[in-house]
Structures are given as C-alpha cells and as structure tokens.
A and B are shown apart, each in its own frame.
Chain A
Amino acid sequence: MTAALSLGDQGFEVVLVEKEPHLGGLSRELTHTIEGAHIFEYLLDAVERVTRHDKIQVLTESLIVGFSGFKGNFTTEVMVGPGMYERKIDHGVVIVATGAEEYRPTEFLYGRDSRILTQIEFGKRLEEKGAEDLHHVIMIQCVGSRNEDFPNCSRICCQNAIKNALHIKELNPETEVSVFYRDIRTYGELEYYYHQARRQGVRFFRFHRDEPPQVSAQDGDLSITFKDSILQRDLRLHADLLVLSAGMRPADTEELSSIIKLPQNPDGYFMEAHVKLRPVDMANEGIYVCGTAHGPKLISEAVAQAMAASSRAATFLSQSEITLSVVTAKVDQERCASCLICVRACPYGVPRINKEGVSEIDEALCRGCGICAAECPAKAIELSWYEDDQVMSKVDALLEGVL
C-alpha cells in the first residue's frame, strides 16, 4: 500500500492485486509497535487512502494467472474477485509485496494446550483480556528459526517478545515474566527496550540450541524444565501461559514465482538482484520487491523498503525511452536443427520455434544468462559479449606465455 500510494501520488496509475478479501496481510493481526504506535489505526488509514485514491485500482480476492512481456511492456492476466472473471492488464513495472506469515509451531506442545500461544495470539490476548489474571508468563525464543530446516533468524521475534513483556508489566507490574532465549537480538535502538525490560524485572534465561527447555502440561499444571546456564542445574518453573516466539515464514508464492519466473532463496523469500547495489530490484528488469516478501523485517523497515521500490519504479517509468541490454542470445538460424534443447533449457521460456521451423530468441525478452548458448549441441546460439570466441581469446590472453 505504501508503494502504491507513493506512485499514485506521483501521478502513475497503479493496480493493486490482493489475494485476500481485505488489504493489509499480516499487519491485520498486529496491535502496537514497540515504540507504542497503533498499527491498526495506521492500517485503516492506509486502506482508506488507497481505496479512495483516483489513481489506484484495488482488486481483492484476485489471483495472477498469466504474465508475459519485458520491462516497460508487461501484460498480466488476473482472475478478479469472487466472480473470477479474467482481466488483461498492460503495465510498465511490477512491484512484488506478497508478505509473510507467522510460523505455526509443532514443537513445545503448541496446539495441544490452550495455554500455549504464539506471540501474535498473545498480543491480541493482552488487548482483549489484559494481564490481571496472570501470575507468571514464560516466553521461548527462536521457535521455528535457527534450526536445521530454517537456519535463518526471523529478526523480529526478540523485539516482539520484549514488546509484549513490557506490555504485561504495564498492565500488571505484579506478573512475572521469564524469557528463554538463545541470543537477544534487539538490534540498534531497540536495545533500549531490552534494558527497560531488565530494569522492570523481566527475567532472561539462556539455553543452548541442543538443550531446549522441556514443556509439560499434565494434570492442569503448565511447567517448563530447563538447565540454568549459570547454576548448571535443572530448574522447573510453573506458568499460567507459555508464549512461543514463532518465526516468520514467507507467504506461499510457489505458483506466482513460476508464473513470473522470479528467483527465490532456499527459504522461499524473493532474491534481490544484488544485496548492496540493487537491494529492491529483482534480477529481471522492471520488477521490484519490498516488504517481508523479501525477508523478515519490522513494519518501519518494510515501509522504508516500499518507498525505495516505488522510487526505483518511478525512476524507470519516468523515462521516455528505454535502452535494452545488448547482452542477448542470438540463434544462427542456418545451423539450428530444431532440437528444442534451448526451448527447454531457458529459465524464462524465451526461445520459440518460428514459422521457418527454427528457434528464434526475442532480444527484448532475453535475460542474457547464456544457458541456451552453452546447451546448444550445434553451437547455433551465441550470447553477445560472451561469445565462445571471446571467452576463448580471454583464456588465451590470460595464459599467454605459459606454454
């Protein structure tokens, strides 16, 4: 929505395709930021501005079913709304902001006892019921993150836990809070909130990845047994609620990424073209990514990245002429045997068999990776700038005088 508003305000036409009936994604589940800002109010304001904007069209309950073209000249097919009618939209750029979800834990008895919650569920619980009835709340960090299946840190859980811990103390200073952590990653100025939590008496217990705390919920008693890292002895704590800091998972975009051919990293987040030099561009020109679709981040970070993506999009759309890259593959039609290897090998489905029955590559669509050139058994395809002769003469030059 931030990107849409930014571009709409600059006078560009925007179509916002949302698969759910309502805009907002994961932010609809959240209440406050750690600094105290009201997320829901901000969200309602953004939704209102987006739906009211005369340059922005919002299509809810809609899905992307087709995609073709190149930067400045894309055509996307969308199945719109509950009626599921098809629409073809011609547009210049794409901004991908498919978002993320909270991991549903399978560990620590989640789902088997109503007293075991995730941080998002707990945040809502505090809003609805407060903390008067709570004597002791225990939190466990790194649930579903930093393990064999998902080796990365989900970035936002430490500050989220401390946010909820401070909220508990605000509602009921008598409630005890214990946080079981592997590392406390309240980075930058968020460290201030960690100090505040310590001063207010929130307890922090460290555990090692291989020795997680054991949860037991028998006979109505919810307790956690763990080895204290300082005493080097097993301790057991009883709790009213156990809150799991469940990590972040990207939204399911397997179908979308196969339609638009977007590269993803092994965790399922979209990969930017270059971490430092092109942080919001995707490898395919004209496509930009922002928000948690790219990786776990705070709302403030997602908004900042959205502004960056819309900035990049606006820079591109403002040009009256575009220069296409010269690094494209070309088929020598006389040598082509129509074996279809290039058609199958191309990650983007660019080579086509033309009317003459030979392979043809549209210069505007070719991304310049050179895989077809290397696969072609007849050596009928050459990648400009990286032709075989050019590569071989580089080898010759670099090894001159060795033999």
Chain B
Amino acid sequence: MRLQYPSGIRIICLPCTGKVDVIHLLHSFEKGADGVYVVGCLEGACQFNAGNLRAKKRVAQAQEILEKIGVGGERVQMYNLSSSEAPRFVEIAEEMTGKIMALGPNPIKTAAKKAAA
C-alpha cells in the first residue's frame, strides 16, 4: 500500500510473538533503544493458538522490571492486529513513536553519554 511510517522504527521478524523472550526486550534497552513494542495477532486469532497471550504476559513482566530499574515501564508495549490491517500498523507505529518522543531518550543512553564525557 506504500504507506509511510516513522523512520525511527527498526523491525525484527519472528514466526510468532510467543517466541519473544523477556531477555530480547531487555537487551534492546541495554543497547540503547528508546522504546520496544511487540506486535502480535488479534487476541483469539493467534496463528499458533495462544502465542500472543504468552507474549502479553512477558511484555507485562518486562514492564515491571523496567519500571523497577528506572528505565520506565511504558517504554515497552504490546499491540495486536491482523496481517491485513496495514493502516493500523502505521497507526501503531505513529502512536508508539509519539509516546516515546514524549517520554524522552532512554535513561541508559543518557547515562552512558555522561559516563563517556
């Protein structure tokens, strides 16, 4: 459909969001990502039964950990959409970008810059 979405988004493909591990989410923040979001099938319509529900729980776990260490739990989010909803994909990308811009840069990044200086 050649829709435009924000350029700050980097995509990693997986066969099912059920494969997303908490360590993958945390590692992204470790490496300086300002925000991470997991996009899975609509609830009740997972291609592999209920992988997206497992992903939801893991995202919640990651949110708790990130909140506790001061990075901010809102930086990781879970979204659901179907593979035919291209405009919704753009909507989610814009929503997430807006949210992260409002939160500001990843504190780990700012701390690393300060330490380097």
Chain A interfacial positions (CB closer than 8 Å to B): 261, 263-266, 271, 273-276, 283, 327, 345, 347, 367-371, 373-375, 383, 386, 388, 391-392, 394-396, 398-399, 402-403
Contact = CB atoms under 8 A, between A and B. Distances in A.
Interface stretch (B14-22, B62-70, B71-79, B88-96): B14-22
B55 to A, nearest CB: 8
Given A271-B47, A283-B47, A368 B109 contact: no
A369 B54 contact: no
Contact of B48 (A263, A274, A373): A263
A347 B109 contact: no
B18 A371 contact: yes
B10 A399 contact: yes
B28 A395 contact: yes
A392 B58 CA distance: 17
A266 B45 contact: yes
10 nearest interchain CB pairs?
A370-B19, A402-B32, A347-B49, A371-B18, A369-B48, A398-B10, A266-B44, A369-B16, A403-B32, A399-B31
Contact of B45 (A271, A273, A388, A392): A271
A399 B33 contact: yes
B28 A369 contact: no
Contacts of B47: 263, 271, 273, 283, 369
Given A370-B16, A399-B33, A403-B32, 16 more contacts: A263-B47, A263-B48, A265-B45, A274-B83, A327-B15, A369-B15, A369-B18, A369-B19, A369-B48, A371-B18, A374-B54, A375-B54, A383-B15, A391-B14, A391-B21, A395-B12
- Could you tell me the dominant secondary structure of chain B's interface residues? loop
B50 interface: yes
Contacts of A386: 14-15, 19
Nearest to A385: B15
Contacts of A399: 10, 28, 31-33
A402 B84 CA distance: 33
A403 B21 contact: no
Interface string B1-19: 0000000001010111011
Nearest to A383: B19
Contacts of B15: 327, 368-370, 383, 386
B19 A392 contact: no
Interface of B: 10, 12, 14-16, 18-21, 23-24, 27-28, 31-33, 42, 44-51, 54, 58, 83-84, 108-109, 112
A192 B10 CA distance: 49
Contact of A367 (B21, B24, B48): B48
B50 A391 contact: no
A371 B44 contact: no
Given A369-B48, A386-B15, A392 B24 contact: yes
Contacts of B28: 395, 399
Contacts of A374: 18-21, 54, 58
Contact of B31 (A271, A283, A396): A396
Contacts of B49: 261, 263, 347
Contacts of A266: 42, 44-45
A158 B42 CA distance: 29
Nearest to B43: A266
Contact of A263 (B31, B46, B54, B109): B46
